[in-house]
């Protein structure tokens, strides 16, 4: 990062494009050039200082002296509908190309240059500066408030975000908006939209129920409870691979259909309230992640994010959302990564399980599921094996069937998934994380040795369609082609006369083991713990408070 030599002066003139101007003192004005702020004297021939402040401009310099200032004052604002690499779609203005020197500036709080990933779809917290038909800069003028969310609705089996055709209806009828038209559809009448639909020539159709409080049924997809119905609006967009379906609704309404899909409504109210705060915090972070911004959405409705509207809502889950309205989990003024999973093995793990730096997630530290919140050293195979074989080891969720489980697999079954080493001879755990979760596996075969890294790969590679898992209560779980967790000990039971090696796996828990155990939360709630007690246990040194109190 050093200049070694200056070989040639190519030019003594430069133009800085789309910079932010601020007011100066004594006939000067300020310019933000990346991370540097410079001050320039303002000659009368260039204009008045008050005309310059708080504007985007191109400034031209020659030998360091100011030559020309080209102000760009035209601004537009509106809800952002999609953010792509080279364009932004703004409601009321359509899709606008980005200038090649496009900039993003945050104007509230501490001024700073940001990136295109900070432009949030579904919100009108940005102004856009436009010149020559292109967006020169996005100005983040208000803080994100997490009041609404845009959800991509996947197809019936959650395998794709694209649909060949979509059928909508509503009890009260529908209002369809496309281009500059608005058409009303009679009560209960179906609207069928396919990729050749002329109404999509402007790219999108927005459907809203005619009566407030009514929901829109999407008759072309099925969920666990049948034909799903959605609050808010439904937007149909045409993309190269098919139609995408976006449900825009209030975040709190979204949560009423996430909580029952993620936790049974038969659970204790305080457990459901803990789940609601986790789901709200998770959604808050995901809205800002811009995963689906090019399609104009924040999340999808599958297990990749949070399962949404797969099961009907219930009064108890609605109350849990309402009674925790706006509450998020914070660590040092920032909403946390509120990971959660089904059942523990008696010990959670830390934030390094997916390869990250655990110091970035100090609140995900991993501990025993006991009042003491102690930590066991389960880094050796012998220590973990002793722990996992204790079926009655005391923990909050020790009464749940998936607390302990066992299964048997053969090398022939495993070789269908693990093809790199020939005939599998042995499998050994070579690295364990906090709580004993497997981080690395060594697989020895007739044609070589390989390492399987990460809890997700361990579960996928060792699981198979032949597997029958015996749960703690003696019942069997079948048709599950992944291991329930990576909290496992592997016992090589030797080779039979047919040269088949059998491995017995002792396991515990269901899920990745990071953050809150949902069944642990249920047991704590049954024992009289409040939702705040539960959250502070699973997310160390965090606090529950209103989103508006965030200082991000």
Q: Are residues 327 and 370 in the same domain?
A: no
Residue 482 lies in domain: 342-509
Q: Are residues 306 and 405 in the same domain?
A: no
Residue 537 lies in a domain: no
Tokens of 304: 């990749």
Q: Are 95 and 101 in contact (CB under 8 A)?
A: no
- The model carries a pTM of 0.83
Q: Are residues 68 and 79 in the same domain?
A: no
Q: Are residues 397 and 500 in the same domain?
A: yes
Q: Which of 512, 545, 541 is nearest to 373 (CA)?
A: 541
The pLDDT value given to residue 434? 95
Q: pLDDT tens digit string along 91-142?
A: 989 999 999 999 999 988 888 899 999 999 999 989 999 999 999 999 998 8
Per DSSP, the three-state class of 37 is: strand
Q: Are residues 411 and 447 in the same domain?
A: yes
Residue 543 lies in a domain: no
Cα dihedral 76/80/82/86 (nearest 10) = 30
Residue 182 lies in a domain: yes
Q: Which residues contact 217 (CB under 8 A, 6 or more apart)?
A: 168, 169, 170, 227, 228, 229, 230
Residue 219 lies in a domain: yes
Domain boundary among the residues 110, 140, 170 is at: 140
Q: Are 482 and 459 in contact (CB under 8 A)?
A: yes
Residues of the chain with pLDDT under 70: 44-45, 47-50, 548-552
Residue 319 lies in a domain: yes
Q: Which residues contact 528 (CB under 8 A, 6 or more apart)?
A: none
Domain boundary among the residues 72, 87, 119 is at: 72
The pLDDT value given to residue 78? 92
Q: Are residues 176 and 90 in the same domain?
A: no
Q: Are residues 63 and 91 in the same domain?
A: no
The pLDDT value given to residue 100? 95
Q: Are residues 373 and 323 in the same domain?
A: no
The pLDDT value given to residue 521? 97
Q: What is the DSSP string of 66-98?
A: EEEEEEE--EEE--EEEE-SSEEEETTTEEEEE
Residue 551 lies in a domain: no
Domain boundary among the residues 51, 72, 93 is at: 72
The pLDDT value given to residue 49? 65
The pLDDT value given to residue 228? 95
Residue 530 lies in a domain: no
Q: Are residues 377 and 274 in the same domain?
A: no
Q: Which residues contact 1 (CB under 8 A, 6 or more apart)?
A: none
Residue 541 lies in a domain: no
The pLDDT value given to residue 548? 62
Q: Are residues 325 and 361 in the same domain?
A: no
Total structural domains within the chain: 4
Q: Are residues 67 and 80 in the same domain?
A: no
Q: Are residues 119 and 157 in the same domain?
A: no
């Amino acid at each position: 990062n050093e200049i070694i030599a200056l070989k040639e002066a190519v030019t003594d003139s430069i133009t800085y494009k789309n910079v932010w101007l601020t007011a100066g003192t004594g006939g000067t004005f300020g310019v933000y050039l990346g991370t540097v702020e410079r001050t320039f004297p303002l000659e009368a021939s260039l204009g008045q200082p008050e005309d310059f402040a708080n504007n985007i401009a191109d400034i031209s310099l020659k030998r360091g002296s100011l030559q020309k200032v080209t102000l760009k004052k035209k601004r537009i604002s509106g809800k952002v509908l999609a953010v792509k690499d080279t364009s932004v779609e703004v409601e009321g203005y359509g899709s606008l190309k980005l200038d090649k020197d496009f900039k993003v500036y945050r104007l509230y709080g501490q001024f700073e240059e940001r990136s295109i990933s900070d432009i949030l779809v579904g919100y009108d917290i940005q102004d856009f500066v436009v010149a020559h038909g292109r967006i020169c800069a996005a100005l983040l003028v208000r803080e994100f408030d997490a009041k609404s969310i845009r959800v991509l609705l996947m197809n019936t089996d959650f395998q794709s975000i694209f649909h060949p055709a979509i059928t909508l209806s509503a009890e009260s009828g529908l209002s369809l908006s496309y281009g500059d038209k608005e058409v009303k559809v009679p009560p209960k009448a179906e609207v069928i939209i396919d990729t050749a639909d002329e109404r999509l020539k402007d790219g999108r159709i927005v459907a809203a129920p005619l009566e407030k409080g009514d929901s829109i049924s999407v008759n072309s997809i099925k969920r666990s409870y049948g034909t799903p119905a959605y609050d808010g609006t439904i937007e149909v967009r045409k993309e190269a691979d098919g139609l995408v379906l976006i449900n825009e609704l209030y975040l709190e309404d979204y949560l009423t259909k996430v909580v029952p899909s993620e936790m049974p409504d038969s659970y204790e109210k305080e457990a459901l309230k803990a789940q609601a705060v986790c789901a709200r915090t998770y959604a808050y972070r995901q809205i800002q992640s811009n995963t689906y911004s090019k399609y104009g959405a924040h999340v999808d409705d599958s297990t990749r994010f949070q399962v949404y509207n797969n099961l009907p809502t219930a009064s108890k889950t609605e109350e849990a959302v309402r009674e925790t309205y706006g509450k998020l989990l914070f660590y040092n003024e920032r909403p946390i990564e509120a990971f959660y999973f089904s059942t523990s093995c008696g010990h959670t793990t830390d934030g390094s399980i997916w390869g990250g730096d655990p110091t970035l997630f100090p609140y995900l530290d991993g501990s025993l599921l006991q009042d003491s919140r102690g930590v066991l050293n389960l880094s050796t195979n012998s220590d973990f094996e002793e722990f996992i074989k204790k079926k009655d080891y005391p923990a909050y969720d020790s009464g749940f069937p998936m607390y302990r489980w066992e299964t048997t697999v053969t090398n022939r079954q495993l070789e269908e998934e693990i093809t790199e080493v020939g005939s599998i001879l042995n499998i050994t755990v070579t690295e364990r994380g906090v709580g004993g979760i497997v981080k690395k596996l060594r697989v020895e075969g007739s044609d070589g040795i390989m390492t399987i890294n990460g809890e997700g790969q361990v579960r996928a590679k060792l699981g198979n369609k032949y597997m029958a898992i015996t749960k703690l209560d003696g019942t069997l779980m079948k048709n599950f082609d992944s291991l329930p967790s990576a909290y496992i000990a592997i016992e090589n039971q030797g080779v039979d006369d047919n040269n088949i090696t059998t491995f017995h796996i002792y396991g515990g828990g269901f899920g990745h083991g990071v953050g809150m155990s949902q069944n642990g939360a249920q047991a704590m709630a049954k024992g009289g713990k409040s939702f705040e007690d539960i959250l502070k246990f699973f997310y160390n040194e965090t606090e529950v408070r209103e989103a508006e109190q965030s200082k991000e």
